[in-house]
Structure 1
């Protein structure tokens, strides 16, 4: 979601007992909001005193759920500062988000926007202008810088002031000069409010002055060469349409193969798209689907990998070895093991994700074990059996033909596969910009367009893109990813090679020999199949 839209979803309309808007406010946590003390007084039709009022009043989120009225009351109060902290009762509308709060030592001439309810405009209007400097009380002066349009006036009090440069709320409207020739107002900076109420733990982001090129500390918004896992759903963007399609199919199909080129994002969409959707529950004509999730990769011994996952809650090694033996002897074992697991868990369905299914052919050298593994998967998801298991595979397209060795697998793939192609330009743009913007990082103009041009339509370019973005972020200036940083990282085409060369060049001659040996051990040379990566234990290395 764009940050500006998230800001709109934090705005509150405060309503008097007669149903008239008297001011605004904004959400700062899941249930807390800020407004002015005099706005609370107007809502309650009471004069503002040093004593905090206890009565409740009404409010709603006018740009998200207008008319869905909630109640609130003041829980922290400072009449001298004209600040009230509100606690909202009731279930908040879906999509509500706390405002992103920022502060900086220099706001001079920053563009801003604010939303309010001047007399005669109960649905609200927007005002914009420029932020100037502090005055003696610590308030910032703001002014309208245009000849037409709305300006901050009574009805905007308690409103969030969004800084267009810092992409965040820098203050709250507390006063306005009502003389038309002035068109000026004053805001209380959120940093000062946070200092006044330390128990609130307001998450105010410190922004360094624009003339500083030092990178602002923070967590990286990109995964680099790591695939997205279930815990990374907050960074996973650009695959919403594909995820919806896969979720729809999983709701009605008990076997689903996600097929695509290397680097097309198969693992990521399975782990960070399908699995979180399953955990939330899939609505189907037959009822709600959810339950335990097991994610495995076949490795050299797929039966061991499968048995270890299914017995992960058992402290007994014997449970794992017994299930391994059962899986090897009888293709019905996975089906029966799933039923027992669900019976103990009190659930109806189990989701098994077999990521990097091609390892069944590249790493597993035992044809008997390979056959037993595949037959267990197929038996457990047989179409004529209303079993408790759903299986999702991810498979590299260049290993597709190896599946034809098994008739049942070939037939399942004919009916139940989803082929992942390249992301659309809009999806790529979202994957590039949304993770950064959600965390408050910016892009130098022209950078996103250059990255999109470099990526093109190559389906396997996603790891290259993700690594280039991470390396560009590491070279950021302030909060901005820059063209210079992107060039220094090597861009989409050269970032991985440049990183590898930089690391290798720092090694001593002895370490370079060791590194070469490690690289060879991490490569599985194909015998009748393509060369692929290989996992090696630390003990082996």
Structure 2
């Protein structure tokens, strides 16, 4: 399937020095969903306070001359990692509305579904962005509310620069969640995503961009 349908929804998030902090996904014409941890100060012992600053949102499918759109965390949409680590979400509000589209289709994922998925991240070695492919392995992570992702043995593994990026279903192009974590160590095949169901549980404002009850049919339910 072509990647062009997802191009306008992919975002690279940079700080005020233009350093890449991670990835995000455009929702509607004025919001970007990402992980809270990529917005935190990169210093030891930093408190998980809501950042009082703007971030640059580079739109991958609409790179053009001129400054990138800027956004900051919307009121009530800062859900940083706590002691149990299960929540790691933030919703940026853009200073100006985007001139295109209404964002992708976010879909809930039924328990036990195994799907081939892909994601577009911005690792230090390929700052312009690179695709990675994985397969949903099942419930995991803190509290069992994340989904484990198993990388393809011949493709790139997830690493810094992928956090916050959308997880696209290979078959439907629906967004099933966002990448949140990976096993430390370059080349690891293990990573995790926060599925849509968990996102809307902790960040109800995102519910307005969710369509339907389930991302895939009943044939994908646990045997």
Q: Same fold (TM over 0.5)?
A: yes
Partner of 1:343: none
1:5 offset after TM fit, Å?
2.4
1:66 offset after TM fit, Å?
4.8
Question: Which one of 85, 98, 103 corresponds to residue 98 of structure 1?
Answer: 103
Distance across 1 between alignment mates of 2:2 and 2:95: 26
TM-score by length of 2: 0.82
TM-score by length of 1: 0.36
| 1:322-353 CA distance string (max 9 Å, x none) | xxxxxxxxxxxxxxxxxxxxxxxxxxxxxxxx
Distance across 2 between alignment mates of 1:85 and 1:200: 8
Partner of 1:160: 166
Partner of 1:69: 68
Consecutive unaligned residues of structure 2, counting only runs of 5 or more, are: 82-86
| 1:247-295 CA distance string (max 9 Å, x none) | xxxxxxxxxxxxxxxxxxxxxxxxxxxxxxxxxxxxxxxxxxxxxxxxx
Distance across 2 between alignment mates of 1:11 and 1:170: 14
Kept in 2: contact 1:28–1:202 (CA 8 A): no
What is the correspondence of 1:83-482 to structure 2 with a 5 Å cutoff?
83-92=89-98, 94-106=99-111, 108-135=113-140, 136-147=143-154, 149-180=155-186, 182-205=188-211, 206-207=213-214, 209-211=217-219
Distance across 2 between alignment mates of 1:123 and 1:45: 25
Partner of 1:374: none
Who wins on radius of gyration, i.e. which is larger?
1
What is the correspondence of 1:465-504 to structure 2 with a 5 Å cutoff?
none
| 1:363-383 CA distance string (max 9 Å, x none) | xxxxxxxxxxxxxxxxxxxxx
| 1:452-471 CA distance string (max 9 Å, x none) | xxxxxxxxxxxxxxxxxxxx
Partner of 2:57: 59
Count of aligned pairs between the two proteins: 208
Q: Which structure features the higher share of strand residues? A: 2
Higher RCO (C-alpha under 8 Å, 6+ residues apart):
2
1:29 offset after TM fit, Å?
2.0
| 1:458-500 CA distance string (max 9 Å, x none) | xxxxxxxxxxxxxxxxxxxxxxxxxxxxxxxxxxxxxxxxxxx
Distance 1:107 1:151, change over 3 A: farther
Partner of 2:26: 27
SS at match of 1:201: helix
Q: Which structure features the higher share of helix residues? A: 1
Kept in 2: contact 1:20–1:122 (CA 8 A): no
Structural RMSD (CA): 2.5
